[in-house]
Amino acid sequence: MTRVPLLSVENLTVQFRGDSGWVTAIEDVSFEIGAGENLGIVGESGSGKSVSALSILRLHGRANTRYASGAIRFGGRDLLSMSERELRKVRGGDIAMIFQDPMSSLNPVLTIAEQIIEPLQLHQGLSSAAARRRAIELLEMVRIADAGRRIDEYPHRLSGGMRQRVMIAIAIACQPKLLIADEPTTALDVTIQGQILELLRDLQREIGMSVVLITHDLGVIAEFAQRVLVMYAGRVIEQAPVAALFNRPMHPYTDGLIDAVPKLDGDLHRLTTIPGSIPDLATVIPGCRFNPRCREAMDVCRRNAPALLPVGPDHLSRCPPRAAARGAA
Amino acid sequence: MTEAPIVTVRDLVKTFPVRGRPGEPKRTLRAVDRVGFDVLRGETLGLVGESGSGKSTTGRMLVGLISATSGTVELFGHHIAGGAEKGALNKVRSRLQFVFQDPQNSLNPRMRVGDAIAEPLDVAGGLSRQARNDRVQELLELVGLPRSCGDRFPHEFSGGQRQRIGIARALALRPDFIVCDEPVSSLDVSMQAQIVNLLLDLQEQLGLSYLFIAHDLAVVRNISTRVAVMYAGGIVEMAPKRDLYAAPKHPYTQALLAAVPRPVPGRARAPSVAGELPSLIDPPKGCAFHPRCPFAFDRCRIEKPRLNPVEGGHAVACHLHEAGGSGTSAL
């Protein structure tokens, strides 16, 4: 299978300045995303899923961040070595991003119109009248009723779901090739969450863009993503097509995550848990980072840092004992 | 034999004044609208709803954190709201407790966790230094933390561990009834399951009753005995757990169940219910859900349905399910 990736992240390691030196937030992260593809990145707090996503557009504070190694290739160029000026043309242009909390990403003292028109004038050089017409069109695309009137309102007048629609309208204003969505539905009510996911899927089809969806919710992943990266403590621990990930998870952490999701059907009673807590970034864990919480940990897991190994078609796992068991079977 | 409920709530209402612009008439926000339920000894009532449903306001009125506008709350036979009984809340205060959503904000960052846990004991008084410290260690062990960690500060713990500390603190005075307000909503999935299991273990060991507040139906399924679903300030459906999940009757409950994203790839998903959550200042006439309801008919737009029993402890506030109604399953 030859896939020409739209974006490829290669061996990315990102470090942040801590109280006592640099701590590694993500290590040796590699993935690619094809044109029109939906990639899901799932993990808990501290897994590095958001750090990975923010790194694509270099959105971390410059003074305290070090892109220690790796490359991020997009359209034949390395985003990590671009100048700030060149990168600004990519941000909001070919690559757009939406965040968890639309209230803190919208400017409260500007109307919706002013905020949508800005990228249109900046990236597409539209006149203000043309930009306003296009802005109303965009609000209609994200299914905001009565867009011609709503556009002159301030963000506080809109509900959380409406604000996220506005954020999406701003993001798709310049027909991006890639949309990075960092927990776009986490702050929303359950019935609104479904509406926003449906909207993202529809828009993706209409515009033909690729989407990287970052979430902690395996339910959202199952419904939205085609391919999935599972991250734990700064590393990719499994990568697979969505059906394979849920039907044949090949890492004990993925097993645990799937089992821990509260179910709406099946047997009631105790939830299956993953023992222990998520380690913080500064903790050094020799061997596999998951070994202190792993029910299947062996001596080798405590000694050697595991490699990401192929375990099936387009399926990688950072659990050598599992990979070996599969090879032997 | 029917045991008297330990919590009885009837026609509970809470309104808040809303200040408009100068010259505009004063308006009121109706946060909780005629809510009624019982909680029996040793059971868990799950209270589920989205933003603005009134679930947290209800929970807070139950423990006297905010006062009711009207209606009655009876705890262990004492009227803490709506009765003429003076000082009733003080008589039952030690028997009820509250666990907050965010263990980060509900613990004092400059207080050692042992002291935080002991604070209710110190307020109640009557314990020697030794007995107090022994009790703290016992509580830490009860919630699955090392007995020795009382000297540490909250920031040294993970979110899940901090929620365990919040639970230990709530247990200090040996309560009978605990209101848990979204206790796992800010936790990671792997931590959520641990806390839900801990609450189940404690309930078994100590015979506790819970009101467990959550914003989605999946989380309350394991812990609840019965579940009540709230929308726009009122209970729209209440049923024993099995009935609610197997045969939800209210169109909103059905929508809420359908909206939970499930970890099953390729599952055909029902389309999301349209529309936004209603305003509480200017709520829709009739049934608050009618503008979003696919089954709404004329009566729903005029008359507010009451919570009526349908069968075996199952009650629903929907005109489709009143005597002679065909129900949504038949449509």
Give the pLDDT confidence score for residue B3 in this predicted structure: 75
**Contact yes or no for B272 and A260 at CB 8 A:** no
- A270 interface with B at CB cutoff 8 Å: yes
Mean pLDDT of B135-164: 93
Give the pLDDT confidence score for residue A122 in this predicted structure: 84
Given pLDDT bands bounded at 50, 70 and 90, which one contains residue A3? low
Average pLDDT across chain B, whole number: 91
The residue with greater pLDDT, B319 or B188, is B319
Lowest mean pLDDT among A297-301, B160-164, B205-209, B319-323: B319-323
Between CA A322 and CA A101 the distance in angstroms is 38
- B283 interface with A at CB cutoff 8 Å: no
In angstroms, the separation between the Cα of residue B186 and the nearest Cα of chain A is 11
- A193 interface with B at CB cutoff 8 Å: yes
Pick A271's closest partner by Cβ from B159, B222, B256. Answer: B222
Given pLDDT bands bounded at 50, 70 and 90, which one contains residue B270? confident
Lowest mean pLDDT among A82-86, A122-126, A267-271, B234-238: A267-271
**Contact yes or no for A191 and B217 at CB 8 A:** no
Length of chain B: 331
**Contact yes or no for A262 and B272 at CB 8 A:** no
**Contact yes or no for A189 and B158 at CB 8 A:** no
pLDDT > 90: percent of chain A:
74
Mean pLDDT of A16-32: 92
- Whole-Å CA distances, A185 to B5, B229, B320: 39, 22, 32
Query: How many alpha carbons fall within 13 Å on the CB side of residue A204?
Result: 22
Residue A183, Ramachandran bin (φ over 0: left; ψ between -120 and 50: alpha; else beta) = left
Please provide the DSSP assignment of B87-104 as one string.
THHHHHGGGEEEE-S-HH
A125: pLDDT strictly greater than 80: yes
B196: pLDDT strictly greater than 50: yes
Between CA A292 and CA A245 the distance in angstroms is 23
Lowest mean pLDDT among A206-210, B24-28, B52-56, B207-211: B24-28
Look up the pTM and report it. 0.91
- Residue of B215, B260, B280 best to disrupt the A interface, most CBs of A under 10 A: B260
Q: Do the strands B7-18 and B27-39 form a parallel or antiparallel pair, or are they unpaired? A: antiparallel
Residue B274: closest CA among B296, B246, B297: B296
pLDDT tens across A37-74, in order? 999 999 998 899 999 999 999 999 888 999 999 999 99
Q: What distance separates the 2 farthest-apart alpha carbons in chain B?
A: 68
**Contact yes or no for A257 and B189 at CB 8 A:** yes
**CB contacts, 8 Å: B258 with chain A:** 194
Which residue of chain B has the CA closest to A144?
A: B275
Which residue of chain A has the CA closest to B162?
A: A277
Lowest mean pLDDT among A262-271, B220-229, B291-300: A262-271
Give the pLDDT confidence score for residue B323 in this predicted structure: 60
Between CA B219 and CA B196 the distance in angstroms is 9
**Contact yes or no for A260 and B273 at CB 8 A:** no
Q: For residue B331, count other CB atoms closer than 10 A to its CB.
A: 9
Give the pLDDT confidence score for residue A316 in this predicted structure: 97
- B264 interface with A at CB cutoff 8 Å: yes
Give the pLDDT confidence score for residue B23 in this predicted structure: 79
**Contact yes or no for B260 and A161 at CB 8 A:** no
**Contact yes or no for B271 and A263 at CB 8 A:** no
- B281 interface with A at CB cutoff 8 Å: no
- B247 interface with A at CB cutoff 8 Å: no
The residue with greater pLDDT, B22 or B30, is B30
Angle between helix B159-171 and B189-206 (nearest 10): 20
Give the pLDDT confidence score for residue A294 in this predicted structure: 95
- B206 interface with A at CB cutoff 8 Å: no
Length of chain A: 329
Which residue of chain A has the CA closest to B160?
A: A277
Spelled out in words, what is the top-level CATH class assigned to the domain A5-104+177-191+206-328?
A: alpha beta
Rg (CA), chain B: 21
**Contact yes or no for B190 and A278 at CB 8 A:** yes
pLDDT tens across A130-185, in order? 999 999 999 999 999 899 999 999 999 888 899 999 999 999 999 999 999 999 99
pLDDT tens across A270-327, in order? 778 888 888 888 888 999 999 999 999 999 999 999 999 999 999 999 999 999 987 6
Give the pLDDT confidence score for residue B19 in this predicted structure: 81
Given pLDDT bands bounded at 50, 70 and 90, which one contains residue B114? very high
Q: Is B154 exposed, middle or buried (0-12, 13-18, 19+ CB in 10 A)?
A: buried
Give the pLDDT confidence score for residue B276 in this predicted structure: 87
Rounded to the nearest angstrom, the gap between the alpha carbon of residue A259 and the centroid of all alpha carbons in its chain is: 22
Q: For residue B70, count other CB atoms closer than 10 A to its CB.
A: 12
ipTM of the modeled complex: 0.87
**CB contacts, 8 Å: B236 with chain A:** none
Q: For residue B251, count other CB atoms closer than 10 A to its CB.
A: 25
Mean pLDDT of B177-197: 91
Residues in B 15-54 with any Cβ partner in A closer than 8 A? 50-51
Average pLDDT across chain A, whole number: 91
In angstroms, the separation between the Cα of residue A240 and the nearest Cα of chain B is 12
